[in-house]
Amino acid sequence: MQPAEFFPTVRIDRASPTPMYRQVETGLRRAILSGRLRAGVRVPGMRAYARHLGVAAVTVITAYDQLVAEGFLAVRPGVGTIVSDLTGHPAAVSDGAHRPQSLPAPRRPIATRPGPRRPFFEPQASEWPPVEIDFRTGSTRLDLFPHRAWERCLRAAWRELAAEPAGIATTYLHPSGDPRLREALAEYLGASRGVHCEPDDIVITAGAQAAMRIGVELWVTGRGPLAVEDPGGPHLFRALEAGGAELAHVPVDQRGLRLELLPRESAGVLVTPSWQYPAGGTMPIGRRLQLLTWAARRGAVVLEDDCDSELRYVGHPIASLQGLAGQCGATVLYVGTFSKVLFPGLRTGYAVVPGPVRELFLARLEASYRGPGALEQRTLAGFIAGGHFHRHLARLRAAFAERQSLALTALDRHLGGLVEAAPAPAGAHLVVRITDPCVTATALNRAAVALGVAIEPMSLSRALPAPDDAFVLHYARHGLAELEDGIRRLRRAFDVSGSASTWSRGAASA
Amino acid sequence: MQPAEFFPTVRIDRASPTPMYRQVETGLRRAILSGRLRAGVRVPGMRAYARHLGVAAVTVITAYDQLVAEGFLAVRPGVGTIVSDLTGHPAAVSDGAHRPQSLPAPRRPIATRPGPRRPFFEPQASEWPPVEIDFRTGSTRLDLFPHRAWERCLRAAWRELAAEPAGIATTYLHPSGDPRLREALAEYLGASRGVHCEPDDIVITAGAQAAMRIGVELWVTGRGPLAVEDPGGPHLFRALEAGGAELAHVPVDQRGLRLELLPRESAGVLVTPSWQYPAGGTMPIGRRLQLLTWAARRGAVVLEDDCDSELRYVGHPIASLQGLAGQCGATVLYVGTFSKVLFPGLRTGYAVVPGPVRELFLARLEASYRGPGALEQRTLAGFIAGGHFHRHLARLRAAFAERQSLALTALDRHLGGLVEAAPAPAGAHLVVRITDPCVTATALNRAAVALGVAIEPMSLSRALPAPDDAFVLHYARHGLAELEDGIRRLRRAFDVSGSASTWSRGAASA
């Protein structure tokens, strides 16, 4: 047992509405960031620490789990749980010092592609064929949606709007969006996402893409390339290129963007640190601080796309880059959307815009499309303020976790030996790797579409060369029967598209 | 009495749902456009013609009135009603032949202003102060809005959307907008606006401005300046400049854009032919054809902003440029919005996009903001298809005509001798000219704001030099008592801001 003086001090307020585990977690995070708890130090055993603090053991366990997920703590088998080495912390890092010499020189951005010539989602559906079971990302279902609560909010919103004399429905006087929605969002973002903002810092936009476009126009275009993750979101990238951005595609690893490959001349970096889209993986605190420090030194902006952050099944969502930016002196544009957790047709996203550029940002917004409709905004404001959004997220998480588990079971049952997929602690899709060297994801998808099921080859999300051996399986939209049916059809698609070896394996398992 | 053979032949179908006066009007319009009825020919007396056709006299009177309003016919005192000289008709015009030699050379476009630095509608409201009585354009009230019908459409729309498996709410699969809304709009535009289109030609956008921006990006930017009307809509112009357009401001007269002043190198022309915004005046058919012929020869696009077309109190709205474009070989992007006749917070407009560029247009749209929310679109579809929109417009027209008449009476009562304002057959505002040479519209507005009432100096809508002697008085938002009160306060503002002469006149009338 460790001596009493080794227990890190955290302040616990038993009267606070903040859950106890959050208080422990916050206290420990502060101690680590401030340097009071130093890298390599072993933190106390959970049970002993719980007794010391006078809380339940599960409280400390939950706090430790979250800090491990965020990268503040690391589990060393045979040693215990230790404080991570947060290289990259402003106090410790020196620019470039951590770039290994043996790595390739920073990649030059790929040639800028011309603006889009055709819509991605073809109206004629030749590139995006309709299928019975759709495992591609980008659409949702309303089977888990709280219809009654939403309809109540809708009716209340319309009544409110109709009674406002110079409100958001009848004037152009609120370029930054519905004041009610910005209030509700500021509270939500502060409590759930570790985002530091006031309602006035928030700008409501017609989806995340719209906010990103303005961010790129303001900070990046004409000043240098925008570094983006590879793989990444192809629709968003197309939109940014259409807006004039020159993209530099930088590979990711399990902990997000590989900072050592960032082109020096980048004017901005677009990242999905909470849950890398689409490869998965959370950027740990060390790399977060390193990225922010790098950006601050270079004068580059960080565009934080906080997609899928709400869909975390293990622990709670990880604190945002935006919340850490201040201590590093970095500029972060934090962008979120409701398209994924509510529905895309809502067309509502938001940005937390740094004060100095807020006016410019609004001027650009006003000169383009002025944000989503009044009714959507006010309905959403009521939905969040009334606690429905919080409850809906909890319900989604539980359902998605269950669906993921079903999907993994079905993959194992029907495609065992042909593919590999690891459980994911967040998001709404799995990354599935094809282990059979004779079947590409593109060929598999082609065969699958003919059988009424579509997957999303990972190659659609890549600009850098990579093997065509993985696909995205968006499980969140489907219930048990459909997941099972769709994955069974994938097995048939394998048999059709595969090599002789696949055939024989197919025959053996049939 | 004219001999029987002078009665122009028009086909009347008594079983048709098209009103009789529309049939007479359409028949005569076709006869004029085809050359069967030639310029200078006197059309038959209304009563005799009515007897000849076997219709009521009011039918012919209504048809003639409309054709006079459109410029196909002209009333010559002492002569009667004659067919206008449609110089500019493709069969008759030769490019440049009608440009008078004595006029100044085409104006060079004014220097391109940098993109917007600050939002127009200031959140801090310093440039757009809130007032009790607001005669500025750009906002509306919902006092005439059919709330019950809208709420019913809203509920029905949500139920429909929630039940659609891969519809506009849950996917990105419809970049051109809700198919239902496009169907309803195609029918409405064909019947009411003389626009030739199928549902597939229509693209739903987040307001008219968004559609215009894409049109300018596709056809104009980098190819030459965009000719715009002066005065014109400053918000729209700011948005287009932010999108990279170089604007050439061309003066208007009572019949719209002065074509003889169009810069030869223009790559596009943006016009409000139905009711020039904000000066008023309808572009007659002769000038319409001349503009289209000019554009076809130059390879310039015509951007038709059909604002205020629905708010015509005399006759019905005039047929669009888009409907005439085919016969001239011109490219027209027809753009409309629901912001003015419904409410701005709806954020919904539309474009009728020529077939050859439709795919490009959609690709740009998808890369920017993807149109308005699903709920707005479906609600509107039901609102139009259910006949509510039609009824709402009829109600608006009646109410606005009454309010305009009240405003004119009040102006005469309180500001007689200080200002001049002519009745307007369309729109939702009056242009008021200050006859007192010592009072500018800007000074008057400043004094008025201090008294709780705001007007909109015409200078805000101008880029070319002009006297600061006129303002816009948007009457549509206010009922009788407020109109009276606001205009009474304007009189006090006159007394405060005016010269000694104004003071003495003010004292005399007090």
Structure tokens at B409: 């009476």
Which of A71-75, A418-422, B486-490 has the least mean pLDDT? A71-75
Confidence of residue A319 (pLDDT cuts 50, 70, 90): confident
Which residues of chain A does B118 touch, with a Cβ-Cβ cutoff of 8 Å? 359-360, 362-363
- The secondary structure of residue A143, as a DSSP letter, is T
The B residues from 362 to 391 touching A (CB cutoff 8 Å) are 362-376
Task: Report pLDDT for B203.
Answer: 96
Task: Report pLDDT for B308.
Answer: 80
- Nearest residue, CB atoms, A139 vs list B116, B142, B171: B171
How remote is the C-alpha of A416 from its chain's centroid? 29
Q: A171: nearest CA in chain B?
A: B139
Average pLDDT rounded to a whole number, residues B301-312:
90
Please report the number of interchain residue pairs, chain A to chain B, with beta-carbon separation below 8 angstroms: 237
Which residues of chain A does B119 touch, with a Cβ-Cβ cutoff of 8 Å? 175, 359, 362-363, 365-366
Residue type, position B355, single letter = G
Average pLDDT rounded to a whole number, residues B161-189:
89
A301: three-class secondary structure by DSSP = strand
A117–B171: do the CB atoms touch at under 8 Å?
A: no
Structure tokens at B499: 């010269």
Q: A234: nearest CA in chain B?
A: B367
CA distance B180 to B204: 11
Residue A335 has pLDDT above 80, yes or no: yes
Q: Answer for the pair B85, B290: CB distance below 8 angstroms, yes or no.
A: no
Residue B130 has pLDDT above 50, yes or no: yes
- Segment B407-427, tens digit of pLDDT: 999 999 999 999 999 999 999
- Segment B64-85, tens digit of pLDDT: 888 887 778 888 877 888 888 7
A367/chain B closest Cα distance in angstroms: 4
Residue B35 has pLDDT above 80, yes or no: no
Which of A90-94, B257-261, B448-452, B457-461 has the least mean pLDDT? A90-94
- Percent of chain B beyond pLDDT 90? 49
B347–A363: do the CB atoms touch at under 8 Å?
A: no
Of A313, A386, A309, A319, nearest to A350 by C-alpha is A309
Helix (H), strand (E) at residue A213: helix A208-219
- Segment A379-433, tens digit of pLDDT: 999 999 999 999 999 999 999 999 999 999 999 999 999 999 999 999 999 999 9
A209 part of contact set with chain B, CB < 8 Å: yes
A123–B370: do the CB atoms touch at under 8 Å?
A: no
CA distance A140 to B165: 9
Task: Report pLDDT for A70.
Answer: 76
Of B278, B279, B292, B288, nearest to B340 by C-alpha is B278
Task: Report pLDDT for A420.
Answer: 96
* Most B CBs within 10 Å, among A121, A335, A357, to test the B interface: A121
B166–A130: do the CB atoms touch at under 8 Å?
A: yes
Confidence of residue A91 (pLDDT cuts 50, 70, 90): very low
B64/chain A closest Cα distance in angstroms: 38
Task: Report pLDDT for A498.
Answer: 66
B166–A134: do the CB atoms touch at under 8 Å?
A: yes
B154/chain A closest Cα distance in angstroms: 9
Burial class (CB in 10 A: 0-12, 13-18, 19+), B125: exposed
B371–A170: do the CB atoms touch at under 8 Å?
A: no
Write the Ramachandran bin of B146: left for phi over 0, alpha for psi from -120 to 50, otherwise beta: beta
- Percent of chain A beyond pLDDT 90? 49
Which residues of chain A does B172 touch, with a Cβ-Cβ cutoff of 8 Å? 120-121, 138-139, 235, 344
Neighbours of A137 (CB within 10 A): 22
- Segment B134-161, tens digit of pLDDT: 999 888 888 899 999 999 999 999 999 9
Which residues of chain A does B150 touch, with a Cβ-Cβ cutoff of 8 Å? 158
A169 part of contact set with chain B, CB < 8 Å: yes
pTM: 0.78
CA distance A212 to B356: 30
CA distance A307 to A208: 9
Q: Answer for the pair B247, B226: CB distance below 8 angstroms, yes or no.
A: yes
Residue B98 has pLDDT above 50, yes or no: no
Which residues of chain A does B345 touch, with a Cβ-Cβ cutoff of 8 Å? 161, 167-171, 373-375
- Segment A278-303, tens digit of pLDDT: 999 999 888 999 999 999 999 999 99
Task: Report pLDDT for B95.
Answer: 33
A372–B347: do the CB atoms touch at under 8 Å?
A: yes
Residue B4 has pLDDT above 50, yes or no: no
B154 part of contact set with chain A, CB < 8 Å: yes
Neighbours of B35 (CB within 10 A): 12
Task: Report pLDDT for A16.
Answer: 81
Q: A122: nearest CA in chain B?
A: B173
B366–A120: do the CB atoms touch at under 8 Å?
A: yes
Highest mean pLDDT among A40-54, A97-111, A198-212: A198-212
**What strand order describes the sheet that includes B470-474?**
B419-421, B429-434, B470-474, B456-457
Which residues of chain A does B371 touch, with a Cβ-Cβ cutoff of 8 Å? 347
Q: Answer for the pair A197, A189: CB distance below 8 angstroms, yes or no.
A: yes
Query: From the DSSP assignment, how many helices (H) and strands (E) are in chain B?
Result: 15, 16
Which residues of chain B does A360 touch, with a Cβ-Cβ cutoff of 8 Å? 117-118
Question: How many CA atoms lie less than 13 Å away from B299 in the CB half-sphere?
Answer: 5
Structure tokens at B107: 């104006």
Q: CA dist B488 to A464, A478, B134, B410, B437, Å?
A: 70, 65, 13, 8, 20
Confidence of residue B102 (pLDDT cuts 50, 70, 90): very low
B368–A372: do the CB atoms touch at under 8 Å?
A: no
Of B324, B315, B232, nearest to B269 by C-alpha is B232
Confidence of residue B119 (pLDDT cuts 50, 70, 90): low
A134 part of contact set with chain B, CB < 8 Å: yes
Which residues of chain B does A155 touch, with a Cβ-Cβ cutoff of 8 Å? 151, 155
Which residues of chain B does A343 touch, with a Cβ-Cβ cutoff of 8 Å? 169-170, 374
